[in-house]
Every structure is written in C-alpha cells, then in structure tokens.
Structure 1
Amino acid sequence: MFENRRYIVIGAFCLVGLIYIARLFYIQVLDDSYSLGSSKNSVKRVIEIPYRGQIYDRNGKLIVYNTPVYDLYVTPKQMKVPDTLAFCRMMNITRQEFDSLINLAVTYSPFKPSLFLRQLSKEDFARIQDALVDYRGFEPRMSSMRTYPAHTLANALGYVSEISKKQLEEQATFYYRQGDYVGHNGLEEQYEEVLRGKRGVRFVMQNVRGVVKGSYKNGEFDTIAVAGQNLYTGIDLDVQQYADSLMANKVGSVIAIEPATGEILVSVSAPTYDPNLLSSRFFSKNYVKLLKNPYKPLINRPIMASYRPGSTFKLIQALIGQQQGSLFPNTAYSHAGSPMRCHCHGVRSLSGAVQYSCNPYFYYVFRKMIYFNGNSNTFKASAIGLQQWYDAVKLFGIGQKLGIDLPTELKGNLPSVDYYDKIYNGQYRWKFSNIYSLSIGEGELLISPIKLANVAAIIANRGYYIPPHYAKGIGKVGSGIDATYYEKRQVNIDPKYFGPVIEGMRGAVVHGTVTPLANIADVELCGKTGTSQNAKMGHKYDHSIFIGFAPVNNPKIAIAVFVENAGWGGKAAASVAALVVERYLKRKTEALKLDESVKAQNYMLNVGVIGGKPGLKKKVDSLRKDTTRKSAVKKPLMTNAAPAKPVSRTATAGVNGN
C-alpha cells in the first residue's frame, strides 16, 4: 500500500517536471515572441517609411519626385548630452532652439521618440553620423523630401509637412505617429492614401550604446515598405510653365480644360511661389513669409477665388433664354429704355449682341426670361421667374461645387429667391429692378475661374461637361480614377441653340471686343470678354476676364483667364488666353509681338504709390484687407463680393460690357 503511494507521488512529480520542461522548450525554442520580448534591450524595432508616389504630367514629364534625406528623432528619457553647446554647433541650431525642441518632445512623451530635426541632407548626416554615438537618445531615420524640378503648380500640388496634433487626434484609424509627414492642400492631400504607400517594419540588433550591429534573425520578422503609387495628371507641363511666365507681375488665374475629358491642362494661380520653399527643413519660416505676403500666394485662385463674372455670364443667359423660348437668334433689342449704357451702337441680333457684348440687349433678355411665366403680379412674377432662372443656371455648375479632385473647392454664390427674401426682409419685398444687374453678371453673383472655364467647356461640347479633374491615372494612365470623372453632365440645352452663341464668340475674337492681336492665325479661338466691376477702386482697376475655346469645330481646349485690376477684358485676359491656346495647339509661340506685350504688363497695384497718385496705395490696401482671405483654407477670396445688404444699382448701370 505504502509502495503504491510512493510511485503515485513520484509519478506526479515526474509529470509536473515534464510539463515544465515542455513549457520551457516551447517558450525558449518554439515561441519567438518571448525571445523578442526578452531581447527588447538589444533588438530595436525600426519603422520603414516608404517613398511617396511621384507625380507626372500628361506627357510623362516629372513634376514631383523624392530626394533621400534623414530625420533625427529624440527620446527624452534616454537622452544624454554631455556638451549641449557642442551639440548645438554640430547641428547648426541655437541653444534656444534646442531647448524648445526638447520641451516639445517631452510634452509629447518622455518615453517615445519624436522628431527633433528633419530633412538633413546626405552630406549633413555624413558629417554628424559618427559624433551621434556620443549623444544617447538620438536616432536617425531614413526619409525623403519632395522635390519639384519644374518649379510650378505649387497651389494645385499642395505640400507635404509634419502632421499636426489635431490631425493625429482625429484620424479615424491609427496610422500616423508624431513626426510623420502628410499631404496638405492640393493633390498631395486629395490623393494622400495612394501617394503615401505602406510602411514596413525592420528589427535590428544594437549594442548597449545604441549602435546597430546588424539585422535580427536575418530579417525573418521584417516587413517591406511598399512605395506609394504614382499619380499621372492631365497637366501639360510645357504649357503650364509658359502660362506662368505670362502671369508674372499679375494677380489672377489661368485655368484650361480639355472639353472631351474634363482633364485640367493648365492651372495657374498668380502670384505663386516655388513649391520647393515648403519642402525643406525651413518650412515654418518660409510658410510664415508666404502667409504674410499681401498678394496671398498660398491661395489657389482658380478654385478658391470668387469674382463677379461680368459679361462672360451673358453666354449662359443667351442659352437659357433660347431654351426657355423667350429668345430667338433673330431677336433684336434697341437701347431705348434700358438703365444700362453700352459701348456698341444700334440694334443687334443674338450673335451680334454676343460679339459686341451689348448690355441693353441682355438687360431685355433677362427681363423677358423673368416675366416669361405670364403672371400678372409683378412681385410674384419676379419670384417665379427668378426661381426658373436659378434652376437653369445651376445646371451649369454655378453656385455649387463641381466636385473637382482638390479638397478646397468653394461654391461661390448664385442668388436665389430665398436669398433675396432674406436680404429684403420678406417675401415679395423685392422686384426686377432690384436684381437686373444679374443680366450682365454683376450684383450678387460670385463665380470661381474654374467654373467659368467649365462654362467654356460646356459650350465647346454643345451641351454637357465632365467634372473637371487633375488626375489622369493612379499607378498608370487611365487607371484608378473615380468613376465620377467619366460621367457626362447635361445642362438641358438643345445643341441647336449653341450655334448663334458660338458664332458671336468667334465674331468677338475676329472683329469684336477682343484686341486684334489676340486673333492668332490658325487657332480659331472663340471667346467672350468680361469686365468684373471693382467699384471701390474705380473702373480703371476693374478685373479683366476672358473665357473661350478652340478650335471652332472639335475643340481641344477650353480656357478662363482672370487678371485682377487690369481693366478691359478684351486686352489683358484675352491676350493671355490666346497665347496659352496657341502654345497648346501649335506646341510653339508664333505671336511674338503679343507675347512680348503681355510679358511687359505689370498689374501688381499695391506696391508703392500707384500712377503717381498719393493715397491710392492706402486705398488698394484697404480694399485688399476687405476682400482677401484671412487664412489660406477657410474662406473664399472675394473680389467685389456680394454685400450683406441690398446692392446699389447705380454702379451696375455704367459701361461694363466687355
């Protein structure tokens, strides 16, 4: 009996021993997770940041690529700096900057690495690499810096910079860490997820001083970083750079679209800046300088600026009036009884009215449209007619976002019945005499340049548009683009009604409101001039506008040009547009006299005393303070923005029909 109990006890001890041996064998031989855990002091986990995808133009020319650099991270709890002044001299920073950077790192986390200095060149890193061994807690990481060889398209591209604290806190799924780079504004932000790639992880062996001694277990646990996908745009880099040169010393924008596809060919925001300024370790200093620049170069004017469209809006009026049945190609109106003056003379048909931009003609066109509903009540008729007009104009993309592939597009303003009811404090408190300036694109209308370029594309296509977009392909041309950018959006205008309008647009260039030099041989440019009122500065400083397309049949390019403070629409804006269109269609510039004239023009008003008139600079500065954005991303840049109270109609009754 006793012998049996002894064997049972011995067996129990042996069983427990075997269990312990088996467990130890599993932990020490089979399960590598414990090995990694026990090696945490000698094995280091290094995050591999992938290269961002590169950006190309429509012809495969490189717009953005990556340059290898090094970022220096610090872990405050592990930091040991024997000689702070020597360290600062080595890093080319001041003691004050050192203290500030360390305080930021401690605030983030004493135990986690955070960015100390970024984008050290290969030469700078080679200079400090050996010395870093004496300063514990600092570690370099391979990174890359965006480089812009073409020095153009800054506003549309956006920039890459360190992620903000707010963005870190608000990210839906955890991906970014303190010190990571992320795209801001423009295409860099819009296509962040495809450009950023997929990060990898690498485990390395290190000694007690933090010096890397090789890969851990031959990289068995490593994961490879996957580079971001390349982005191919519809931009024509050659034409883009040429348009930049034409807009030197000017404020405004040039936006060109391929009508058949909606691809954006040219996107100029003037004045602009070299995108390389925001792609260096001096980002903060350069950004502050740009932010303080009175010309607001950080604003992407083609999609963020709002202007009154002026006489370019007459094209929409002509199309809607014909579709409604209140206007015919042979309809003629005299100037008699119109509150608007005009620079042209005599009775005009529709094509002639477009060609010579007749204000009284389109006053009567708009009036007939508003009262075409037949209601005898003047106040009610105005409301019904305006609502019908509003619904028709909205189909052209006015007063709403077009849905372009940039994160900062603004709606502009298309006044509705509710809008005027609110302004005039009640229903039927306003009538046609309060809104007639809409007939020539003034009053409360606010439109961005890209919307007017899209109007030109609609006319070029005889009735439809594809939402304008920058991207032509992700990974490869024609792949990965949102299906929205293949959809045709109809404006519900019968194609037959475009004929008289296009005839007038061609006439405007050949012998109408456009300067003769802009009628370039073999281009067949069709266009409409506009002069957007700048009442606070006087008509001498109105904004010059031109929209158009070419050639007449099978159009290849639609364009809108805004030149602020340049006056007559047929000169400054039309000249720029004609040269850009010629360069795109011919691949060269033959109109050398026009080219020379445009490049010599300078419309940068608020520098010094203007025109020899003391005090005008103050007036311009005051105007810009009222009409420009206070920040680069939240509010639209408004030139002659719609006021909060009823507009004085006396300003719109002048000659402003170019």
Structure 2
Amino acid sequence: MRKLLLPSLIIVAASLLVIRIFYLQVINDTFKLKSENNAIKIKYDYPERGYIYDRNGKLLVANQASYDIMVIPRELKNIDTLEFCQLLNITKEDFIKKIAKAKIYSPRLPSVFLPQLNKSEFAAFQEKIRKFEGFYFQKRSLRDYEVDFGANIFGFITQVNEQLIAKNPYYKSGDLIGQQGVEQYYEEILRGIKGVKYFQKDKYNREIGSYKNGKYDTIAVQGEDINLTLDAELQKYGEQLMINKRGGIVAIEPKTGEILALVTAPSYDPGILVGRQRSKNYTMLYHDSIAKPLYDRGLLAEYPPGSPFKILTGLIGLQEGVVDEQTSFMCNHGFSYARGRFMKCHDSGPHQLHNGIYHSCNTYFAQVYMRTINKYKKPAYAVDVWSDHVKSFGLGQFMGYDLPTGKRGNVPTSKTYKRIYPNGGWRSTTIVSNSIGQGEVLMTPIQLANMMATVANEGHYFTPHIIKKIKGENIDPKFKVKHETTIDKKYFKPMISGLFDVYNQGTARSLRVEGIDICGKTGTAENFAKIGGKRVQLEDHSIFVAFAPKDNPKIAIAVLVENGGFGATIAGPIASLMIEKYLRKTITRTDLEKRILERSLQDRYAKLGGLSDVVKLQLKKQDSILKSKKIAPAIKKDTTKQN
C-alpha cells in the first residue's frame, strides 16, 4: 500500500497541473489576452455619473459631455507641433512637458494629454485629428451643476493620481473620481461601471476588427441616481445669509436625523471646478489661507459651544439629583468661585432652572456643575460620570454620518485633567468653566445641531445623514437606529419649557416669529488667536441653537458665526429666518432678513489677513443679492448686547 502512495500522489498532482494548463490555454484565454496586449487596443466607454436630487426631487447635479485628448507616446509620428499647439491654444513648452510626463507613465499606454475640452474645442480638434497620429479623443462625462450652492456637500470630481491607480485596479490614467462630499462618499454608487471594448491590430498598428468577436467586451452601466436629504431652497437661503461672514449652519430633521442644510462660509460656486479652468480655480481655493473656502466649518471647525452647553449642564444636574426644578441660587452679577477669580454674569437675583435658562445665568449653571462634580468623593470619578452623560448626546466622538470629513470635538475626562495637572490639586472650582461651554469643551456645528435634535426628541437621536434615497438600493440601516441618552425623558420637558421662554421673555425675545413656537438658546464664546506671536482676544463667536415647533419639532438648527459677537446679534436672527423659511417657505421677519443680508464682518476678518480672491467674490455676490431683493447695499453695526 505504501509503495502505491508516492506514485499516486505524483499522478494526481500531474493530472491537476495538466487540467489547470488546459483551462488556462484552451478554455479561459484571459491570460492570452494580456499576453497579446501589444496587438490589442483597448477602448473604454465611460458611463454618466448618477444624478443628484434634493429631498423634494429638485435636480441639483447632472452631467455634460466632455472630451479628453489622449496620447500614446510610442505611436507619435511626424507631428506638426506648431499647428497642434495653435489648435488647442497651448504653448510648445506645455506640449513638451505633457509628452515627457506621458512617457514617464508609459510609452505604450494612453495618457491624458489635455483634459475636459468642451464641445466647441473638441469640434475644432476633431476635424484635424487624422493629422496627429498617436493622439485620439476619449469621451467622458463631467458634472453639470444646476445650482450655484452646496459645493461643500457635493464635493467635486477630479483625475485619479498614480497612488490611487496602484491601490485600485478599476481606475486607469485619466479616469475621474469623486473627491470630498457625497461625490467621494458615494463614489462607487455614482460612478457606474465603465464598459470595455477590445480591438485587434495588425502589424502596422491598424485596427482590423473586434477581438474574438467581442467576447470580452462589456457594456457601460450608468451610475445610480441619489436623492439627498437636503432642502435646496433652505441651503441656498442659508448660504445667502452667511455671505461676508465665516462659520457654519447645520439644520437637522429631529425625527429622522436627516440633514436639511449644511452651510459653510465662505463657500464657492461648484461650477468653477469643471472644465479646463478647474485646476486654476482649485489652486485659487486651495491656497486661500485667509478665507479657507475648502474648509467645511459645519463639520470640521471645533469651537467652545458657549451658553448652549448650559442645556446639558442642567439636564445632567437633574439626572444626578443634585438639583430639581425649584432649586434656587442667588446671582449678584457674578459669582466668586475659586482663588479670588470671578465668573461674570449679566443678571441678578434668585434663579431656578426655568429662568436660569431663559436669562442664561452663569451663576446658576456653575453651581449646578459644581454640585454634580462634588456629589462624588473623587473628582476624577465625578468628571468621568459627567463626561459619559455628555457623550451620550453624540459629543466628543465621530458621529458616523455619510460625509468623508469630520472632527470629534472634545469632551474632557479625568485623563484630560491628569495630563493638565500632573501633580493633582484640581477640583470642581478649577474646571467650572465647563459648565458654561468654555474650558476644555469643544463642539462642531453639526454636533450642536444634533444636541438640539436630541433635546427636541426628549432624549434620543438618529445619526445625522445626507442620503435619503438611492435608486435601486437601500440606504445604510444604521441611520434608522435610535440612540438613547443617559438622561431620563421626564427631565427634558422642564428644559424645553425654559428654552421656549428664551423667545418669550429671555435673550431671544426680539427674534420671535409670529405663529411659530421656537425653542432656542443664545450663546457667546470667547475667541483667541495668535497675531504677531501674541495671544490676542478677538470679537466673540456668535452662537445660536434652536428647534421648532415646540410640539412635534420638524427642524433643529445650530448657527455659529465667527467673530459675530453676542448670540442674539447675528446667529440668532439667522436661526429664526432659517426656521421660518423651512416651515413656511416664505419670510415675514423681513426686518431681520434685511439686517443680516446687509451685515458684513469682513472688516473684523481683515485683522487676520487681507482680502482674498474668494472674499472679493463674496462682496460682489452680496451686492447682487441685495439688489435682487431691492435692498440698498450697506454695512450696519448691531449694538444688541445679549448673551
């Protein structure tokens, strides 16, 4: 038996090897296709990308035909360089550089020589292409933006680089790929599948027909259309209100977590990143270190949340049982809390939860916070308990939304203070500034908006997301998962009552919209910057959070305007206007609208740098909008002083 084992193994192994060779050489000749690549020409058929619509079916992004001039360096023969350059409006130096770059990539494979020609440019070249052997054109599909807003949401498409080609074999030189926004996140859905055709060539490099009668050819499959959760009119209005300002607006539908608006300012027209001027325009945007138009402040900018954070301070105090609705603290325009330091407050008299919220009393919330920390013997343990409550609102972590960029924000823990105070000695009085959203707490505008959506839902939220529908597919089920906070539902009602009276008798009473019950909270966050090597305090950031209607909320919103001053000055009016625009599709508070559209903060930003090209475009756009609304261009200073 043992004598037969070795011969048997040899026979089996040889048989398997013969079967494999037969399969590769006779049945499956894809390797033959590769080996004959020198005699085969490959042409790709690029599909249209999927269209992008808003939540109401409004078309936002479509496609337009474009043509790339391709070159195969090894096939170049007897080119009249002068005529060629004149035809495509390029210099001889450009021609030489592009050919050299193509040779480095591959002498045998096609490279993009000149991308994104429009129809008229292509027509002129097509008439004489036969004279330029080694060149051919590749039809592609470029984006055609139906709107001039939402650039940060859409992203853009650009040519793949060599690193990505090496990583993903689907892409070839000259292929387009989505970058930033939904174009990047939903790239595989939007791009479709390109078709491939193989052509046999003779020894003179001439096409002589389809290879294997088209056995390996594939048909292009168009990308899937998608509907965003975005309300196009609300997005457009938000970007208009933020012209000549810096910051972000995020609006969310509380019941679903759908993002209704995601505004970053300053922004730009997405159409400028299409066509032959795309590279030049992108360079302008990329190198604008003053306005940073490519920086999505709604998702990336981390700010101290200021007074809106008092909402969480109050809820945690109720949950921990250190105060109730009747607990009262006396405020005398301030509160001495540690080592002679002083927490300023603009109010006076006794404060409970209700009027503490609508008067935004620093003293009240500082006392609530210290009681929360002092409840436990060890400050480190107490801070972690507090931190866990805060994090249950989705703060201090990546939120899991379907956009490719974001920041965690910061919610301090005991580790934070062990690092800051390695020798110990810290206590509730040392870190009390957390109580009013200063200290070590940082939040992004989308986190602020999600916090308000959670309050509107009385203790739960859904992961914010921008996708509403994908043709032929289901959206990610994680967006349907309800996230519960650590705060009992019963504690949200008194908090909501206080937020409602912010508009009725508190810091936002001048911002009421007749007939809409809005719950909101003003905020002002200190703002420091390094100028000339020195730490300088600049104008405070203006912050406002809100949701409406009070019963059955349909929109939650956060507005942050850099260097905007008091919360009710700029951020508050913008929030009221956005809420009315969404719920009514019209504006009755035209006085607020006029004030905000006229308001420019470029004089404040000029302290941080000069006027960039993007800022100059913003100034022109503001004048255009004012004229369309029959408002005379003007810059007015608002002297409202509310927290």
The TM-score normalised by the length of structure 1 is: 0.83
CA offset digits 1:88-115 (Å, max 9, x no partner): 1111111222122112111111111111
Aligned equivalents of 1:539, 1:357: Cα separation in 2: 22
Q: What is the correspondence of 1:156-195 to structure 2 with a 5 Å cutoff?
A: 156-171=153-168, 174-195=169-190
Q: What is the correspondence of 1:249-288 to structure 2 with a 5 Å cutoff?
A: 249-288=244-283
Which residue, out of 301, 305, 309, partners 1:305?
301
Q: What is the correspondence of 1:47-196 to structure 2 with a 5 Å cutoff?
A: 47-171=44-168, 174-196=169-191
Instruction: Identify the residue that residue 348 of structure 2 maps to in structure 1.
Output: 345
Residue 534 of structure 1 pairs with residue 537 of structure 2: no
Q: Which amino acid aligns with 2:311?
A: L
Residue 524 of structure 1 pairs with residue 522 of structure 2: no
Number of aligned residue pairs: give it: 579
Kindly state the Cα deviation for residue 425 of structure 1 after the two structures are TM-superposed: 2.0
Kindly state the Cα deviation for residue 36 of structure 1 after the two structures are TM-superposed: 8.0
Which residue, out of 41, 44, 48, partners 1:44?
41
Aligned equivalents of 1:345, 1:38: Cα separation in 2: 86
- 1:621–1:126 Cα change, 3 Å: closer
Q: Which amino acid aligns with 2:357?
A: V
CA offset digits 1:338-389 (Å, max 9, x no partner): 331211221111011110100011110100000112x2xxxxx321211111
Q: Which amino acid aligns with 1:497?
A: Y
CA offset digits 1:242-271 (Å, max 9, x no partner): 111111111011110000000000011000
Q: What is the correspondence of 1:214-293 to structure 2 with a 5 Å cutoff?
A: 221-293=216-288
Q: What is the correspondence of 1:380-399 to structure 2 with a 5 Å cutoff?
A: 381-399=378-396
Instruction: Identify the residue that residue 613 of structure 1 maps to in structure 2.
Output: none
Residue 296 of structure 1 pairs with residue 299 of structure 2: no
Aligned equivalents of 2:207, 2:476: Cα separation in 1: 45
Q: Gapped runs of 5+ residues in structure 2?
A: 1-24, 337-341, 530-534, 613-640
Residue 372 of structure 1 pairs with residue 367 of structure 2: no
Kindly state the Cα deviation for residue 499 of structure 1 after the two structures are TM-superposed: 1.2
Aligned equivalents of 1:209, 1:144: Cα separation in 2: 32
Instruction: Identify the residue that residue 642 of structure 1 maps to in structure 2.
Output: none
Conservation of the 8 A alpha-carbon contact between 1:81 and 1:87: no
Q: What is the correspondence of 1:463-542 to structure 2 with a 5 Å cutoff?
A: 463-475=459-471, 479-514=473-508, 516=510, 518-536=511-529, 541-542=539-540
Aligned equivalents of 1:78, 1:308: Cα separation in 2: 61
Percent sequence identity over matched residues? 41
Kindly state the Cα deviation for residue 310 of structure 1 after the two structures are TM-superposed: 0.3
Aligned equivalents of 2:437, 2:237: Cα separation in 1: 30
Kindly state the Cα deviation for residue 595 of structure 1 after the two structures are TM-superposed: 0.9
Aligned equivalents of 1:552, 1:31: Cα separation in 2: 67
Kindly state the Cα deviation for residue 317 of structure 1 after the two structures are TM-superposed: 0.8
Kindly state the Cα deviation for residue 401 of structure 1 after the two structures are TM-superposed: 0.7
Residue 423 of structure 1 pairs with residue 420 of structure 2: yes
Kindly state the Cα deviation for residue 582 of structure 1 after the two structures are TM-superposed: 0.4
Q: What is the alpha-carbon root mean square deviation over aligned residues?
A: 2.7
- 1:331–1:210 Cα change, 3 Å: farther
Q: Which amino acid aligns with 2:329?
A: Y
Asked which structure has the greater CA Rg, the reply is 1
Instruction: Identify the residue that residue 615 of structure 2 maps to in structure 1.
Output: none
Kindly state the Cα deviation for residue 303 of structure 1 after the two structures are TM-superposed: 0.7
Aligned to 2:387, the other structure's residue is in SS state helix
Aligned equivalents of 2:429, 2:581: Cα separation in 1: 45
- 1:322–1:221 Cα change, 3 Å: same
Aligned equivalents of 1:547, 1:258: Cα separation in 2: 14
Aligned equivalents of 2:452, 2:565: Cα separation in 1: 21
Aligned equivalents of 1:573, 1:515: Cα separation in 2: 14
CA offset digits 1:510-549 (Å, max 9, x no partner): 2211151x20112211101110111459777100000110
Aligned to 2:345, the other structure's residue is in SS state coil
Residue 316 of structure 1 pairs with residue 312 of structure 2: yes
Aligned equivalents of 1:223, 1:583: Cα separation in 2: 48
Q: Which amino acid aligns with 1:330?
A: Q
Kindly state the Cα deviation for residue 43 of structure 1 after the two structures are TM-superposed: 6.0
Q: Which amino acid aligns with 2:405?
A: T
Kindly state the Cα deviation for residue 621 of structure 1 after the two structures are TM-superposed: 3.8
Kindly state the Cα deviation for residue 469 of structure 1 after the two structures are TM-superposed: 0.4
Q: Which amino acid aligns with 2:507?
A: T
Aligned to 2:262, the other structure's residue is in SS state strand
Conservation of the 8 A alpha-carbon contact between 2:563 and 2:604: no
Q: Which amino acid aligns with 1:347?
A: P
Instruction: Identify the residue that residue 647 of structure 1 maps to in structure 2.
Output: none
Which residue, out of 590, 593, 596, partners 1:592?
590
Comparing 536-545 and 399-408, the one that deviates more: 536-545
Kindly state the Cα deviation for residue 456 of structure 1 after the two structures are TM-superposed: 0.5
Conservation of the 8 A alpha-carbon contact between 1:399 and 1:413: yes
Aligned equivalents of 2:313, 2:291: Cα separation in 1: 33
Which residue, out of 526, 551, 566, partners 2:564?
566
Aligned equivalents of 1:447, 1:36: Cα separation in 2: 56
Conservation of the 8 A alpha-carbon contact between 1:201 and 1:223: yes
- 1:345–1:37 Cα change, 3 Å: closer
- 1:42–1:572 Cα change, 3 Å: same
Kindly state the Cα deviation for residue 335 of structure 1 after the two structures are TM-superposed: 2.1
Q: Gapped runs of 5+ residues in structure 1?
A: 1-25, 376-380, 609-616, 625-655
Instruction: Identify the residue that residue 335 of structure 1 maps to in structure 2.
Output: 331
Aligned equivalents of 2:555, 2:128: Cα separation in 1: 58
Comparing 138-147 and 76-85, the one that deviates more: 76-85
Instruction: Identify the residue that residue 433 of structure 2 maps to in structure 1.
Output: 437
- 1:140–1:361 Cα change, 3 Å: same
Which residue, out of 354, 358, 361, partners 2:357?
354
Conservation of the 8 A alpha-carbon contact between 2:117 and 2:275: no
Kindly state the Cα deviation for residue 471 of structure 1 after the two structures are TM-superposed: 0.4
CA offset digits 1:632-651 (Å, max 9, x no partner): xxxxxxxxxxxxxxxxxxxx
Higher strand share: 2
Aligned equivalents of 1:365, 1:276: Cα separation in 2: 51
Aligned equivalents of 1:354, 1:250: Cα separation in 2: 28
